[in-house]
Amino acid sequence: MTNMTGIFIFSEDRALAKQLLTPALELKQALGQPVTALALDGEAAAELAGHGADKVLVLQSASGWVEGLGDAVAGLVGEASVILIGGTQRGKHLAAHVAARLDAGLTTDAKSLKIEAGKLVASRILYAGLAVCEEEQSFPAVATVPARTFPAPAAAAAAGTVESVPTAADGRIAVTGVTPVDKSGVDISSANKLVSVGRGFRSKDDLHLAVELAGKLKGEVSCTRGIAEDEHWLPIERYIGISGQIVKPDLYLAVGLSGQVQHMVGARESKIIVAINSDERAPIFEAADYGIVGDLYAVLPLLTAAINA
C-alpha cells in the first residue's frame, strides 16, 4: 500500500477529521489528485467516505503510541503531495513524527491552505495574533489544522471506497492503559455560546452571575488567564487565549475583561463578540461587534432577566 499519490488527511478526533476534508477537497481541485483519509475504525471511515474522501484506509491494529502510529501513517502515505493532520496535542506530535519520517516540511496551526507554483502555501498566526505569515513547502508537505478552522463539508453525492490495511505493529512499546486527564467535563472549544469572565469580577462568589446567564443561553462559562491561573476561581481548561483554549463560538460574551491581545487570540474568530465593560476605552470594544459600557453587576442581572422574560 505504498507509492500512493494525492492528498491525505488524518485525525483521531472524528469531528476534526471531517473538517479536514474541506481544505483537502479544495487542494484536490488545485492539484487534480485524489483525497485519501486514514481512519481508525469502520464507523469513522464510513463518515469520511460519505463526506468527500475518494478513499478511506482503515488502519488495523494501529498503535496507541504516537510514534508507532506515526510510523504507520508515514508508511501509508507513500508519495503524497500533502498530508493534513488534525491539530490536537497528539496530532501535532504525530505530525512532527510523520514529517521527520518523510523528510518533509511541517506547518503547524495552518489557518488557510492553497497551492501556488506546485507548492503548498499555508498561513499561520504569529506573535500572539499581531502578524500572519505564509509558509511555502515543496511536496510532500505536512500541515496541522486546528479544530473548527474549517466547517465540515456536506455529505457527498457518491461515497468513496473503504479499505482495511494492515499496519506493522512495533512491539517495543505497548500502551497498556489510558487514564483520561480529570477535567471539569466541559469542552469549552466546542461550546457554541460562551460567557467569558475577567478580573472585573470582584470575587469567586460573584461568578454565579455569569453561570446563570450562561445557563439561560445554554452556553458555558470561560475566563481569562488571571481568573484561572492566578485566582484559581475556574479550572485552567476554561481559560481562553494564546496559552489557553482557542474557541470559535457563535456568541462570545466578554464580561469584565479588558481584551488584551493574548486573550483575544483565542476568541477573535467568534462569530459575534459582545463586550460588557465599565471602561469605554477598554481594548475589548475594538474587537466587539456590540458593546455595553456599564457595570457588569448591573448589566448581567438585567440580561438574565430579559432572557427569562
Least distance to ligand FAD from the beta carbon of 38, Å?
Answer: 32
Least distance to ligand FAD from the beta carbon of 191, Å?
Answer: 16
Binding residues (CB under 6 A) for ligand FAD: these are 198-200, 224-227, 239-244, 256-258, 260, 262-263, 276-279, 282, 295-297
Q: Taking a C-beta distance cutoff of 8 angstroms, is the pair 285, 247 a contact?
A: no
Of 98 and 213, nearer to ligand FAD (C-beta) is: 213
Return contacts of 180-183, CB within 8 angstroms, 24+ apart: 183/235, 183/237
Of 38 and 240, nearer to ligand FAD (C-beta) is: 240
The type of residue at 306 is A
Cα–Cα distance between 111 and 143 in angstroms, integer? 10
Least distance to ligand FAD from the beta carbon of 303, Å?
Answer: 13
Of 67 and 109, nearer to ligand FAD (C-beta) is: 109
Q: Which residue is nearest to ligand FAD (CB)?
A: 241
Of 11 and 277, nearer to ligand FAD (C-beta) is: 277
Element (H, E) at 309: none
For 169-199, b where at least 16 C-beta lie within 10 A, e where not — what string? eeeeeeeeeeeeeeeeeeebbebebbbbbbe
Of 80 and 300, nearer to ligand FAD (C-beta) is: 300
Least distance to ligand FAD from the beta carbon of 262, Å?
Answer: 4
Tell whether omega for the bond before 153 is within 30 degrees of 0, i.e. cis: no
Cα–Cα distance between 214 and 247 in angstroms, integer? 16
Of 64 and 283, nearer to ligand FAD (C-beta) is: 283
Least distance to ligand FAD from the beta carbon of 255, Å?
Answer: 7
Least distance to ligand FAD from the beta carbon of 53, Å?
Answer: 35
Of 279 and 289, nearer to ligand FAD (C-beta) is: 279
C-alpha of 17 from chain center: 11
Least distance to ligand FAD from the beta carbon of 253, Å?
Answer: 12
DSSP 127: G
Cα–Cα distance between 120 and 84 in angstroms, integer? 11
Residues in the chain: 309
Q: Taking a C-beta distance cutoff of 8 angstroms, is the pair 59, 167 a contact?
A: yes
